[in-house]
Amino acid sequence: MSELDLIDSILRHSLDLQRLSAHEEAQALEILRQLETELRQLLASNDLTDAGKREVNALIADAHEAIASSYAQIPGLLDTHELSLIVANRTADVLRDALPSVTIPSPERLASLTKDILIDGAPASAWWSRQAEDLQFKFAAQVRQGVLNGESLAQITARVVGSEDEPGILDTSRRNARSLVHSAVMTAANRARLETYRKNGRHIAGLRWLATLDSHTCMQCAALDGQAWNLDGDKLDGTTADFQLPPAHFACRCVATPIAKGLDDIFGTTGLDEKLKPAVRASSSGPTSAPTFEAFLERQSPEFVEEVLGKRRAELYLAGKLTLRDLVSGAGRPLTLDELRTR
């Protein structure tokens, strides 16, 4: 197995993780859908056109309770420890195809790494309570404003759930929920993967950042693309950015790919340093010696594309009517944690 095969396997697994994330995001959205129904009912059960301060406050208190109990359910949906075990096992399986005597980090070690993971510097649990508080605050403000303006029930409800023309405060909640779930999945998965690389540091020289180079790639990720570090996070030759793990931001689909040691024959160079130099990447034309997502996808069979996207969307993709972003979004055919485990 070559280093290219190794990277392809890691990227295939990354697409699986995007599909898992799509499934987990849908679960969080389902809870918010139920919350929407509850809030609609609460609004409808009160005669707001004629409501006094006390009635409005009582309604807001009920809504606060509904929002808090809905958001309390979301963090428990994703089993980050189980996810980290699956990712570590899969990563080890992939390495095993290429390298001798591969080992897996202990479940205890993975548990401590993925317990209340940090997203953008704050624990996931704190992000979720912030989301609940934010929605509570906005709900109270929108309802009070609507009542003050003498709006109808339909108008006040639209402030919360949105209408044809105007998004409601719940639209922001939904978007943020998806971002947080995606970040939690990717953070836990990447930590488990790095830990597995470290555990097998005898064979792994470091990591290389691989960005999904589509039209939506942000400047931040485009700049990180191809940058490489050793397993202690020190920059390898040619790298200017400080070490970090994906995700770099909300909805980031970048992958940290392994750099195997001792593959001189593949790279046709002698010294290790030379081999580890991140090759110059050309994303539009010209030769590319470092791996790219596009090249990876070109190497995959139509059957693989169909497995990821489902039949209909695969046809569109193969006909050039869907973008790289559609393929890597994971939304084509979401995977559950159980399905991911048995793949």
The residues binding Zn ion (CB under 5 A) are 221, 248, 252, 254
Cα–Cα dist 240/263, whole Å:
24
In the complex, least distance from residue 208 CB atom to Zn ion, rounded to whole angstroms: 13
The residues, ordered by sequence, that sit 6+ positions from 279 with a Cβ below 8 Å of its Cβ are 226, 288, 289, 290
Beta bridge partners of 123: 118
The angle subtended at Cα 146 by Cα 140 and Cα 148, nearest 5°, is 100
Residue found under tokens 């943020």: 176
Q: Considering the complex, what minimum distance in angstroms separates the CB of residue 307 from Zn ion?
A: 24
* Cβ at position 28, least distance to Zn ion in Å: 21
Q: How far apart are CA 110 and CA 264, in angstroms?
A: 32
In the complex, the smallest distance separating the C-beta of residue 249 from Zn ion, rounded to whole angstroms, is: 7
Q: Which residues of 12-48 are buried (b: 16+ CB within 10 A; e: fewer)?
A: bbbbbbbbbbbbbbebbbebbeebbebbeebbeebeb
In the complex with Zn ion, the residue whose CB is nearer, 250 or 267, is 250
Return the number of the residue (102 or 221) whose C-beta is nearest Zn ion. Answer: 221
Q: Which is nearer to Zn ion, 10 or 66 (CB)?
A: 10
Least distance CB 164 / Zn ion (angstroms):
33
Q: On the CB side of 285, how many CA atoms lie within 13 Å of its CA?
A: 0
Which residue's CB is nearer to Zn ion, number 104 or number 211?
Answer: 211
Its sign, for the CA torsion 227, 262, 2, 308, is: negative
